Chains A and B, each alone.
Chain A
Amino acid sequence: MNHLESYLILSALLFSLGLYTVITRKNGVAILMGIELILNAANINFVAFSKFVTHQVEGHLMAIFIIMLAAAEAAVALAIILNLYNDQGNINVDEADALKR
């Protein structure tokens, strides 16, 4: 388990699952969870390349920065979804097309 490939395979799986979730789900919260998966796949890549290729801490720093950004993003996104629920009674993003009508 001490090879770069293992980490990259894990991160690719996570990314694919996240992307699948984002594309297929209509539920806003589920999409948000998919985005978290994609971000974490990126985090794994950062840390893995930092550990095995550069041997420095920039990757770690970037991963922590992304976690913080993900938290902020989750807060904003959840606020949007909450307003969406207040507005239309569900959190289905397909139905959020008021500007298009």
Chain B
Amino acid sequence: MPMVNLSLIILVLPLISFLFQIFFGKRLEHKKGEWISIALVLTTLLLAIIMFAQMLFDYQPDFRQEASINWVNLGQFQIEMGVLVDNITIIMLVVVALISSLVHLYSVEYMKNDVRYSRYFGFLGIFTFSMYGITIANNLFMIYCFWELVGLSSYLLIGHWWEKKSAADAGKKAFIVNRIGDIGMFMGMMVVATVAGTFNYQVLFERIASGAWAAGVHGLFGGVDPNTLLTWAGVLIFMGAIGKSAQFPLHVWLPDAMEGPTPVSALIHAATMVAAGVYLTVRIFPLLTPDAMAFVALIGGFTAFFAATIAITQNDLKKVLAYSTVSQLGYMIMALGTGAYVAGFFHLVTHAMFKALLFLASGSVIHMMHHSLTKLNDHHTDAQDMRNMGGLRSKMPITYAVFFIASLSISGIPLFSGFLSKDAILAGTWSYAAHIHDGWLAQAHLGWILPFFGFGAALITAFYMFRLIFMTFHGEPKRKDIFAKMHESPKLMTIPLMVLGALSTFIFFTLPSFNPLGGKSWFQTLVKQPETVVPMGAFDSEGFAHGLHLAHYPAMYTSLIVAGVGIGLAVLIYILKEIDPAKMAQRLGILYRGSLNKWYMDEIYLNGIIRPFLKGCDAIAYFDMEIYDHYVIDGVGRRVKALATGTGIADDLVVDGAVNLVGIIFQWLGWTFKFVQTGKIQNYLIYVLIGVLMVYLINVF
């Protein structure tokens, strides 16, 4: 069967699951209906693995199948619905199917006593459907449709416990902040559609390469430089990725999105949906101009560093992981911006595994904390606050083990998957900084800020991940009563953890080579960096590729050193207690407070944008109500009312008067003649007599 057909089946199955859960889920007995959803999503996993196996069997870097139908026909301009299956699609499908399946299984236990159990599985279904849609779309318009659908399912799942106001608000925030990025994406699509007349990736790239783009720009806008417009198109479409992948400055929604159930955080807000932005950037990679790429790289690099600095001081288990996710997404975006395409996509895949694992493992801890707190009848203690944990290592050995593996992976320690991808990214930034000679990022060696961000974030990542582990699993339990009630999560939760734990090791990503430091793996072979279709100007692509190779070892050593320093610091502070964190916080003062308060980003938005905007709204409302309504609308009203009064009087006097006059005349006539009708025959006879006499007299004279 062609891959395209398989991918379509994969697309449809979760939709069936969604429809089933929404329409019939509630009628089924509890703990029965979800197995249909799980069976459907496991089928998609099986199909995805078949496709993956086929891909490995063929081993063709240039593999590509495309099929499409015309969807909207607007004469010259046509919108198509189509499927594009290449190696990237297949890898992404496997990642989404795998994480989604594991999260489905995990949720059976985690959401066991939830009131909206079937609805939850339904929403997981529509999310999986939309995510597959993004993955297999072959044009920007279709990806945009599914893009909005994942936004919707994210909104629904964040707000799953909408009785909690913070959850409902977080859902709204995620939806609205994403919309800001999507407006940019839509504008970029419109630029592309106007100039190139197509949404299809392949056709678009061909038109840019063949000069049709330049001709189109010339025809439409005359003197505008086609490359400038292309830069704008790239940056605008990338805005969608800024929103969805929670890049600075639109990252604020992701930490709040942690109000949703933890499996949802693992699936949507760590592994797949937030990676959709990266995936989009991967898809449009060939049309990014050097300027647009510099922008992408800077946004990603800054986000990676910025979010990491916030993660250090957070005390909420999931908040740390949320900022860590933002930071790691920044890595991927930075990699794509620097042109380390394979590294960026590689990090997407490895990160999906270990970050989903981190979230599911933290969910395991939180779930058990909840259990203990419920048993203790304590409804005030925060089950997610690390300051209530500690020493859980002995109680939850499996969770601890996989958590440790994932932390090593994200910190970039050899033998684990994160090392491979992170290392490649850091080598990319290094080489990029060394080879960029043109454009605004080359001014005053500004390009070196990217490796600085990269390595800085790596240092901080290692530190906060081990801070998290030490606070949660090591040391003395801070709440003995809770600790006594803790135990390992049930099998249905630990099995997905163990699967993901295995997938966080190097071996699955370096095959056929067994070298834990990397080498030519299936991934590097099958994911091929596409030829860029834009003039790269003074950027030395060959030098970059060569530099990437050369930078591999220095970057690796440096990253190992910074990771070691980070972990060492964490050990010093939280295990050996050589440094008192409170004292350090005091000494760092403003830095500590800034980090703890997320650098006041929410406050900046509140005071800088939302409040002035509301004030502006108030002013406009005042103008509308007091001035416009009062003088224009009411003024017209008053004049019309006066006019109406005038015509009313005329109507009463003249028209009604005439009508009444007729009435009065006939009333008077009737009143007069009623005396003729006496009812006495004799009177009538007199009238007859008079009448006859009159006839007689008239005849005679």
Contact = CB atoms under 8 A, between A and B. Distances in A.
Contacts of B682: 22-24, 93
B74 interface: no
B664 interface: no
Contacts of A93: 680-682
Mostly, the B contact residues are: helix
B689 A19 contact: yes
A23 B679 CA distance: 14
B685 A19 contact: yes
B686 A23 contact: yes
A5 interface: no
Contacts of A97: 679
A78 to B, nearest CB: 17
Nearest to A24: B682
Contact of B685 (A22, A94, A100): A22
Interface residues of B, number: 7
B623 to A, nearest CB: 76
Interface in B664-701: 679-682, 685-686, 689
A97 B683 CA distance: 14
A93 B686 CA distance: 16
A51 to B, nearest CB: 26
Contacts of B689: 19, 23
A30 B682 CA distance: 13
B680 A94 contact: yes
A39 to B, nearest CB: 15
Interface in A66-101: 93-94, 97, 100
Contacts of A24: 682
A59 B685 CA distance: 27
A93 B679 CA distance: 11
A97 B679 CA distance: 8
B587 to A, nearest CB: 117
B508 to A, nearest CB: 115
Nearest to A94: B680
Nearest to B689: A19
A100 B686 contact: no
A35 to B, nearest CB: 11
A53 to B, nearest CB: 21
A100 B680 CA distance: 10
Contacts of B685: 19, 22-23
Contacts of A22: 682, 685
A97 B678 CA distance: 10
Interface residues of A, number: 8
Contacts of B681: 93
A22 B689 CA distance: 12
B331 to A, nearest CB: 111
Contacts of A100: 679
A23 B680 CA distance: 10
Chain A CB within 10 Å, residue with most, of B679, B681, B682, B686: B682
A31 B143 CA distance: 111
Chain B CB within 10 Å, residue with most, of A22, A23, A94: A23
A19 B681 CA distance: 12
Interface in A16-48: 19, 22-24
A93 B680 CA distance: 9
Interface in B634-686: 679-682, 685-686
Nearest to B679: A100
A34 B584 CA distance: 141
A19 B686 CA distance: 9
A92 to B, nearest CB: 12
B187 to A, nearest CB: 93
A38 B682 CA distance: 15
Interface string B363-374: 000000000000
B7 to A, nearest CB: 99
B235 to A, nearest CB: 102
B88 to A, nearest CB: 107
A37 to B, nearest CB: 14
A24 B682 CA distance: 8
Interface in B304-332: none
Contacts of B680: 93-94
Contacts of A94: 680
Contacts of B686: 23
B690 to A, nearest CB: 11
B689 to A, nearest CB: 7
A94 B679 CA distance: 10
Nearest to A20: B689
Nearest to B686: A23
B677 to A, nearest CB: 10
Contacts of A19: 685, 689
A32 to B, nearest CB: 13
Nearest to A25: B682
A94 B682 CA distance: 9
A94 B689 CA distance: 20
A68 B540 CA distance: 143
Interface in B160-212: none
Contacts of B679: 97, 100
A97 B681 CA distance: 11
A90 to B, nearest CB: 16
A33 B682 CA distance: 14
B606 to A, nearest CB: 90
A16 to B, nearest CB: 10
Nearest to A97: B679
A94 B685 CA distance: 14
Interface string A50-64: 000000000000000
A19 B690 CA distance: 12
A22 B682 CA distance: 7
A21 to B, nearest CB: 11
Q: Which 7 A-B pairs have the closest CB atoms?
A: A100-B679, A23-B682, A23-B685, A23-B686, A22-B685, A97-B679, A19-B689
Given A24-B682, A93-B681, A93-B682, 9 more contacts: A19-B689, A22-B682, A23-B685, A23-B686, A23-B689, A93-B680, A94-B680, A97-B679, A100-B679
15 contacts: A19-B685, A19-B689, A22-B682, A22-B685, A23-B682, A23-B685, A23-B686, A23-B689, A24-B682, A93-B680, A93-B681, A93-B682, A94-B680, A97-B679, A100-B679
